[in-house]
Amino acid sequence: LARGRGFVYADSTQLVKIGPPRDELCLIEGMLHVSHHRRSELLALLQSSIMLEKGLVQQYQIAARDEYQRKADNKLAWAAAKRLQGRAAAKSPDLNENCQGSSNVMQAQSVESEDDDINQ
């Protein structure tokens, strides 16, 4: 019974009728119980949401670091090609033309890569 006022003995063969609350105190007690239960459910949902958010932030940081590293690697490759082109130009005009062609190819790939980044 409500508020610990008594109890009912019943075995598995008996039927117990449960009715609505009969006074305001009983009604409020029931609403408090439902409210507490709902709060527990919402806290569990909040915790799972927080864990999801932390996981997404970690994935974002990893992806950003990988993207930064990829761009840095492209810049290093570009600088190395330019150095080779400069050395080749000093040694032979024929090699200079070959290096100029590979440099143009690397530049085109770099521009395509940046266009892909913008489109994403």
The pair phi, psi for residue 83, each rounded to 5°, is -65, -45
Q: Per-residue pLDDT averaged across 109-118, rounded?
A: 55
pLDDT band of residue 106 (cuts 50, 70, 90) is: low
C-beta separation of 77 from 113 below 8 A:
no
Q: Per-residue pLDDT averaged across 22-38, rounded?
A: 88
pTM of the model: 0.46
Q: What CA–CA distance (Å, rounded) separates 69 from 21?
A: 67
Long-range pairs for 3-9 at CB < 8 Å and ≥24 separation? Answer: 3/29
Q: What CA–CA distance (Å, rounded) separates 39 from 46?
A: 10
pLDDT band of residue 70 (cuts 50, 70, 90) is: confident
Residues above pLDDT 70, as percent of the chain: 66
